[in-house]
Structure 1
Amino acid sequence: MATDYLTRKHSGLSDGIGSPTSSPGPQAVRGNPLAAKVTSVLSASYTDSDIRDALSLLDKRGIENDAETRRHLRLDIQKEVIESNGDIIREFGQVAEQLTRIGATIASLNQGCEEMKKHISAAHRETAPVLEEASELMKQKHQIEAKQQLLNAFNCHFVMSDDDIATLTSTAEPVDDRYFAVLAKAKIIQNDCEILLGTENQRLGLEIMEQVSKNLNGAFQKLYRWIQREFKTLNLENPQINSSIRRALRVLAERPTLFQSCLDFFAEARENVLSDAFYTALTGTSVTGQEDTSVKPIELAAHDPLRYVGDMLAWVHSATVSEREALEVLFISEGDEIAKGIQAGRESEPWNRISEDEDETSTFDGLKALNELVDRDVAGVARALRQRIGQMIQSHEETIMAYKVANLLNFYRVMLSKLVGDDSVLLESLSSLEESAMRQFRVLMRDYMATLPTDMHISPNDLGPRDFVQDGLKQLTAIMETYDTSFASVNSKEADFQPILAGAFDPFMKTSEKIAQELEQPVLSIFSINYLLAARNALAPFEFTKGRVVEIQDSIDQHAARLIEYQYSFFRTNSALQPLLQALAPLSDTPDDLRSIRSLETFQPEVLTQASQALDDFLPSALMDATENLKHLQDSHLAREITETAAERFCDDFEQVEEKIIAADELWEQEEEEGSGAMTEPLRALFPRTSGEIRVLLS
């Protein structure tokens, strides 16, 4: 509507003023107010917020854009403004009246406040001394209450009640959780007394320290006696070992002297228990003579030394394992509490250190202490074991049995070293017994060699190893099979087995070598190879004898080389080829040397013909005759190799003779054609055999 109004208004103005083409110039516009007003109206933007608000207001009033409305619009608006101002003035008049009434009320309130201030000041002057006195009394009350709380806290922390002291020191009171709680409190008091000793007045701290130390000493003495009583009835075989005894040991560790005394008492008691149990296992009856039907006596197997020793060692090993497991639960199953307790005890008892070199930084080695305690527990068993096995070793004179016992002792020594360590009485006993068994083994071997009959030094007809060598190798095989099951490392096995070979092998080899030295070739080498082959076959299956097997094989190869030389000499001598080879040896392939062959005595027609005939007679049975020379060699494959090698060398020599003869004949034929040679028969006609024929006959 306002837009239509403005449109019509604008149209009317345009009509009244004229079109833009007929508008006056700038001077006329400036002189005409109406035109300036119109220009101002036309230059106004419809987007101006004021104009838009005015137009909006006109739209709300519902004014029609006609001449009457336009004439009265300003008057109506001014009238409304005047009326609005009048309403505002009336309302402000009412506000002014209310403000007047509020001012009167405020003045009345100010007067009342002044009167109240006067009354308060007077009251304050009268009550000020009373308040000061009351404040001082309250301050004194707070100080007294703080001192009372401090005294109560001090008494609660540093002073032990009669009941607590009785719990710590009285033997009538049990060693239970309350005892350990009170003991922990006493130790806290003792540590906290250092604070009191750091003050100017040290008397109180000294008195409390003296009393608490006295109570603690009594408490540890009570605990020490209680542990000793418990040890008398303690059953280590019970998997549910009383937890209170473990806790008591950890606490007692704070007094190393008492703790060590308890360990000594415990070790002595356990040594007696295990010794009695070992005696019962051996005999089936207890120390008091009471028969135990649930036990099969180990001594029933005394007729079998190996089983007897094995049963005893197995019992000792089982008992040691059980003892160690039980003591682990008892002493070190809950971390390093004992180590901490002993360290604290060393600090409180520096005069009780084990050695002069031990300082405050040294720590308790629980594993080492456990090994030592286990070793002390089985010390009695170790003595009985050493006595019985020692008697058994001395009373039996069987060589293999002595070594098997030594190996069995070595087996258990290695296993037990993991349980009790290397430095122990038990390991020392087993090592001594092992050395004794090995010493007995070597003595028996020497005695056995000394008792051999004198005819043992004569080689048998079949040139095989003597019976004592076969028996010795059987014993050695049994020993090696036993040794192969030992715990020795692969690298050390060979070195550790050398003393065994020196005692159980070398004497037989040396005796056989002495027999061979009295023989001649080829019997010497055949006999040597036979007994060396037997020795090699016995040693070869085992890894720890490789070095000795290599040495034996070298000796076999040396004797085989001698037999090859013998067979080679046999071929050359019996084939009549030896004189020909000796005659041709100094000659070379020069024409003069080849020409001189015919002048040699061995190449004269009659001699060469006889040599050819001897070769023909030898060749048909040559290989069989050569094989017959080695018929006593027990390795037929080696005998065949030796003969074949010798035959090959013989064939090579024959080729050399053949080549020289052919070369001499060629030179003779050449000179024959030139007419300068003498009329003789070719050497080849006198010695017709070829190297091919020789190889065929000797293959």
Structure 2
Amino acid sequence: MASNSLHERSSSTNSNPLAITSPLSPIGPAPRSSALSNRITNVLASSYADLEIRDALETLDARGIKNTQETRRQLRLDVQRELIERNGEIVRDFGQVAEQLKRVGTAIASLNKCCSDMRVHISAADRETGHILQDATSLMSQKKDVEKKQQVLDAFRAHFLTSDTDLTILTSTAEPVNDDFFRVLSRVKKIHKDCQVLLGTESQTLGLEILEQSSKQLNAAFQKLYRWIQREFKTLDLENPQISSSIRRALRVLAERPTLFQNCLDFFAEAREHILSDSFYAALTGSLTNAAHRGSVGKAIELSAHDPLRYVGDMLAWAHSATVSEREALEVLFISTNDEVAAGIRAGIESEPWTRASSDADASDIFDGHKALAQLISRNLAGVARQLRQRVEQVIQSHDDPTLAYKLSNLLGFYRLMFSRLLEDDTSAFPTALQALEAAALRHFRTSMRDHVSSVQGDLAVAPSDLDVPRFVTEALDTLAALMKSYDTSLASSSSTVEREAGFRPVLAEALDPFLHGCENLTQRLAEPANHIFALNCALAVKESLSAFPSFTRQRMQTLDDAIAQHAACLVEYQHVWFLHASGLQPLVSALASLSSSSTDLPPVFAPEKLMATSRHLDAFLPSAMEDARENVKQLKSAVLALEVTEAAAQRLCEDFEAVEDVVLKADGERGVADEHADGGEGARRLREVFPRTSAEIRVLLS
């Protein structure tokens, strides 16, 4: 809009040159023209890019002012009028503000006056109430101190004093032993322990009084717990897998009083001993001795008394089953994961110093749960062990069969090891009783065997005519087979070979050696070869019997093999001598034995006529030589050994014949050389002609 006005203004000026010479100018034409040209020059020289000019133009444009002559004349006036109006409005507004400030000043003055009055009143009140505030502050401080002391007293009473209700729960026998009892007991024990703190302060009298009071309460509580456990033990059913947890907890708490705990164990062991003894008697007889112990009773064990081994085995099996059940039940009662019983006993020994003097063990070994459990089970089974020992001793003494005694010994040994492992103690009552019974069975076995050996002394006088194994040896081997079978099925089979052989050696000494000595005595009374044949028959029979169990008879079989080899060698020697005599070669072999290596003259037995006779005798012997030789050892029960002995003797005969043949050939050779020098070779091989058999032929005929 402003630019348009200026453009119109310049256009009008250019188009109307007379406007320059306006009559408004007081000066002549020249000055007006100069002023107008100056203004035009100023306008044209002005920069319309200036911000102020641009803002002015924008303002004019905004007001909608048109570029007319009237507008140009009134523009300044309008602006000044508008400015004056605005200034007037501002003055009026500030007048109102001034009035408000006057009212505010009046209010402030009024407030200052009020504050001055209040200061005066406050100063007066302060002077009047100062001592009262000091007294109130002192009273508040005293109140805080009293409150702190009250809190300490309340805390002390809550911690160190027990209410009448809790004392009734703790000491009254009419109250049950439940969680409340153990809760109160634990609290009183804590009070008793914390009294040591009071003894270390200035309040020692108070600490001593509370300590004495808590000690009386604890003693009364443990006495109540002790009597309650005894009552529970009278009705406790260990066969019930769900044993009361309160009993387990009570026992672990009572362990803090070792004397009471031990008395409870003694009472429990005595009660369980009677119960188990009655149960064992009921199992033996099939009847109950105490109506209070009701239960199912199976077939009476005594019904199998006619079979001693089964009878003893059933009793031991019942005892083992009872021991396992007893251990499982008592483990639940006395063995805990954190070894609480041992911890309680150690704490109790600290509270009962006199019990420490009677213990030789260290503090760490005062209580071994598993060992104490084994001892308790052993005490519980003491009555059963006595009854079992009496009855087993009766069985052992009433039977003279050594095999039965030895089987009983192995059975007792088996259960002794089982009980030792179960109770983890070899010195407890039951393993000790079984060990004594095992030793008694072994003594009875040895006595029976010696009596049996004495009873067969008459059979040891003469050997059988057929040189067969005597009857007493056969019976002994039957007995030995039963003993070896029993030993093989015992727990000794799990031992090493050396231990097994050492364990069975005493049995061989009683059940075999006396009969072998009897056979040796009979052997010494026999002539050759009957003595060797009889000894071999007995040794082979014994070896055959022992070979069924080589794991613990290997050494004895080696001894028998040495004896068999010795007797077989003697028998081979006898057969060899027989071969020499029966074949007629004995004189020749004997002559060669006495012939020195440097001698060139043959013995007289090598004369042609004697060699011819020997050759004829040898030819008559050879066809039936082996059959005749076997006839000599026909009573040997081992055909294989008889054949081996005969073949070994025949082999030696062949070797002897080879030696004779070498001498004959050598003699013929020397004689042939001499005859060649004498008469042209006549008479050569003269001895060979009268002794034509060769060693190869002899081997074939004796094969």
Aligned to 2:668: 665
Question: What is the CA distance between 1:512 and its match in structure 2?
Answer: 0.7
Normalised by the length of structure 1, the TM-score is 0.81
Is residue 346–residue 360 contact of structure 1 (8 Å, CA) maintained in 2? no
d(CA) in 1 for partners of 2:391, 2:246:
40
Structure 1 residues 110 and 288, CA, compared in 2 at 3 Å: closer, same or farther? closer
Question: What is the CA distance between 1:252 and its match in structure 2?
Answer: 0.6
Which amino acid in structure 2 is aligned with residue 439 of structure 1? Answer: R
Q: How far does the alpha carbon of each residue in 1:215-246 deviate from its partner, in whole angstroms, 9 at most, with x for none?
A: 11001011111111111111111111111111
Which residue of 682, 685, 698 maps to 1:694?
698
Aligned to 1:520: 527
Aligned to 2:353: 350
d(CA) in 2 for partners of 1:74, 1:456:
170
Which amino acid in structure 1 is aligned with residue 242 of structure 2? Answer: Q
Which amino acid in structure 2 is aligned with residue 153 of structure 1? Answer: A
Aligned to 1:209: 211
Which protein shows a greater Rg? 2
Question: What is the CA distance between 1:110 and its match in structure 2?
Answer: 11
Aligned to 1:490: 495
d(CA) in 2 for partners of 1:572, 1:517:
25
Structure 1 residues 111 and 534, CA, compared in 2 at 3 Å: closer, same or farther? farther
Aligned to 2:252: 250
Which residue of 552, 558, 564 maps to 2:566?
558
Is residue 576–residue 615 contact of structure 1 (8 Å, CA) maintained in 2? yes
Aligned to 2:506: 499
Is residue 323–residue 377 contact of structure 2 (8 Å, CA) maintained in 1? yes
Which amino acid in structure 1 is aligned with residue 360 of structure 2? Answer: D
Superposed counterparts of 1:105-144, under 5 Å: 123=122, 133-144=135-146
d(CA) in 1 for partners of 2:45, 2:517:
156
Aligned to 1:21: none
Question: What is the CA distance between 1:667 and its match in structure 2?
Answer: 3.1
Question: What is the CA distance between 1:120 and its match in structure 2?
Answer: 9.1
Which amino acid in structure 2 is aligned with residue 605 of structure 1? Answer: P
Q: How far does the alpha carbon of each residue in 1:657-691 deviate from its partner, in whole angstroms, 9 at most, with x for none?
A: 22232233233333333448995452211111111
* Corresponding position: 1:328 with 2:331: yes
d(CA) in 1 for partners of 2:383, 2:138:
82
Which residue of 270, 273, 276 maps to 1:274?
276
Question: What is the CA distance between 1:339 and its match in structure 2?
Answer: 1.1
d(CA) in 2 for partners of 1:138, 1:569:
139
Is residue 402–residue 449 contact of structure 2 (8 Å, CA) maintained in 1? yes
Superposed counterparts of 1:402-417, under 5 Å: 402-417=405-420
Is residue 283–residue 297 contact of structure 2 (8 Å, CA) maintained in 1? no
Aligned to 1:547: 555
Which residue of 472, 476, 488 maps to 1:472?
476
Q: Which moved more, 1:334-343 or 1:429-438?
A: 334-343
Structure 1 residues 611 and 72, CA, compared in 2 at 3 Å: closer, same or farther? farther
Q: How far does the alpha carbon of each residue in 1:357-408 deviate from its partner, in whole angstroms, 9 at most, with x for none?
A: 2343434100000000001011011111111111221121122111111111
Which amino acid in structure 1 is aligned with residue 557 of structure 2? Answer: V
Aligned to 1:315: 318
Partner secondary structure for residue 194 of structure 1: helix
Partner secondary structure for residue 419 of structure 1: helix
Aligned to 1:237: 239
Which amino acid in structure 2 is aligned with residue 262 of structure 1? Answer: C
Structure 1 residues 239 and 79, CA, compared in 2 at 3 Å: closer, same or farther? closer
Is residue 671–residue 677 contact of structure 1 (8 Å, CA) maintained in 2? no
d(CA) in 2 for partners of 1:621, 1:252:
98
* Corresponding position: 1:447 with 2:419: no
Which amino acid in structure 1 is aligned with residue 652 of structure 2? Answer: R
* Corresponding position: 1:538 with 2:542: no
Q: How far does the alpha carbon of each residue in 1:14-44 deviate from its partner, in whole angstroms, 9 at most, with x for none?
A: xxxxxxxxxxxxxxxxxxxxxxxxxxxxxxx
Is residue 327–residue 377 contact of structure 2 (8 Å, CA) maintained in 1? yes
Q: How far does the alpha carbon of each residue in 1:601-651 deviate from its partner, in whole angstroms, 9 at most, with x for none?
A: 111111111111111111111111111111111111111111111211221
Partner secondary structure for residue 559 of structure 1: helix
Is residue 403–residue 479 contact of structure 2 (8 Å, CA) maintained in 1? yes
* Corresponding position: 1:456 with 2:468: no
Partner secondary structure for residue 632 of structure 1: coil
Which amino acid in structure 2 is aligned with residue 437 of structure 1? Answer: A
Partner secondary structure for residue 175 of structure 1: coil
Partner secondary structure for residue 545 of structure 2: helix
Aligned to 1:303: 306
Structure 1 residues 649 and 74, CA, compared in 2 at 3 Å: closer, same or farther? farther
Structure 1 residues 427 and 455, CA, compared in 2 at 3 Å: closer, same or farther? closer
d(CA) in 1 for partners of 2:53, 2:617:
173
d(CA) in 2 for partners of 1:144, 1:333:
49
In the alignment, structure 1 segments of 5+ residues that lack a partner are 1-67
Q: How far does the alpha carbon of each residue in 1:547-570 deviate from its partner, in whole angstroms, 9 at most, with x for none?
A: 111111111111111111111222
Aligned to 2:16: none
Is residue 271–residue 377 contact of structure 1 (8 Å, CA) maintained in 2? yes
Question: What is the CA distance between 1:129 and its match in structure 2?
Answer: 5.9
* Corresponding position: 1:567 with 2:575: yes
Is residue 382–residue 426 contact of structure 1 (8 Å, CA) maintained in 2? yes
Is residue 278–residue 290 contact of structure 2 (8 Å, CA) maintained in 1? no
Which residue of 612, 619, 622 maps to 2:622?
619
* Corresponding position: 1:605 with 2:608: yes
Structure 1 residues 587 and 180, CA, compared in 2 at 3 Å: closer, same or farther? same
Which amino acid in structure 2 is aligned with residue 568 of structure 1? Answer: H
Structure 1 residues 604 and 174, CA, compared in 2 at 3 Å: closer, same or farther? same
Structure 1 residues 649 and 137, CA, compared in 2 at 3 Å: closer, same or farther? same
Q: Give the count of matched residue pairs.
A: 614
Structure 1 residues 110 and 697, CA, compared in 2 at 3 Å: closer, same or farther? farther
Which residue of 149, 161, 174 maps to 1:172?
174
Aligned to 1:226: 228
Structure 1 residues 623 and 227, CA, compared in 2 at 3 Å: closer, same or farther? same
Aligned to 1:75: 47
Report % sequence identity: 52
Partner secondary structure for residue 464 of structure 2: coil
d(CA) in 2 for partners of 1:267, 1:79:
120
Aligned to 1:388: 391
d(CA) in 2 for partners of 1:469, 1:229:
65
Structure 1 residues 359 and 452, CA, compared in 2 at 3 Å: closer, same or farther? closer
Structure 1 residues 119 and 390, CA, compared in 2 at 3 Å: closer, same or farther? farther
d(CA) in 2 for partners of 1:538, 1:118:
138
Question: What is the CA distance between 1:288 and its match in structure 2?
Answer: 5.6
Partner secondary structure for residue 201 of structure 2: coil
Aligned to 1:54: none
Partner secondary structure for residue 435 of structure 1: helix
d(CA) in 2 for partners of 1:635, 1:298:
49
Structure 1 residues 319 and 119, CA, compared in 2 at 3 Å: closer, same or farther? farther
d(CA) in 2 for partners of 1:121, 1:359:
86
Partner secondary structure for residue 266 of structure 1: helix
Q: How far does the alpha carbon of each residue in 1:72-94 deviate from its partner, in whole angstroms, 9 at most, with x for none?
A: 7983445749989xx9xx9xx99
Which amino acid in structure 2 is aligned with residue 317 of structure 1? Answer: H
Question: What is the CA distance between 1:448 and its match in structure 2?
Answer: 0.9
Is residue 280–residue 292 contact of structure 1 (8 Å, CA) maintained in 2? no
d(CA) in 2 for partners of 1:472, 1:606:
59
Partner secondary structure for residue 500 of structure 2: helix
Aligned to 1:580: 588
Superposed counterparts of 1:153-168, under 5 Å: 153-168=155-170
Q: How far does the alpha carbon of each residue in 1:41-78 deviate from its partner, in whole angstroms, 9 at most, with x for none?
A: xxxxxxxxxxxxxxxxxxxxxxxxxxx9xx97983445
d(CA) in 1 for partners of 2:45, 2:325:
124
Aligned to 2:365: 362
Question: What is the CA distance between 1:172 and its match in structure 2?
Answer: 1.3
Structure 1 residues 294 and 288, CA, compared in 2 at 3 Å: closer, same or farther? closer
Which amino acid in structure 2 is aligned with residue 562 of structure 1? Answer: C
d(CA) in 2 for partners of 1:115, 1:545:
134
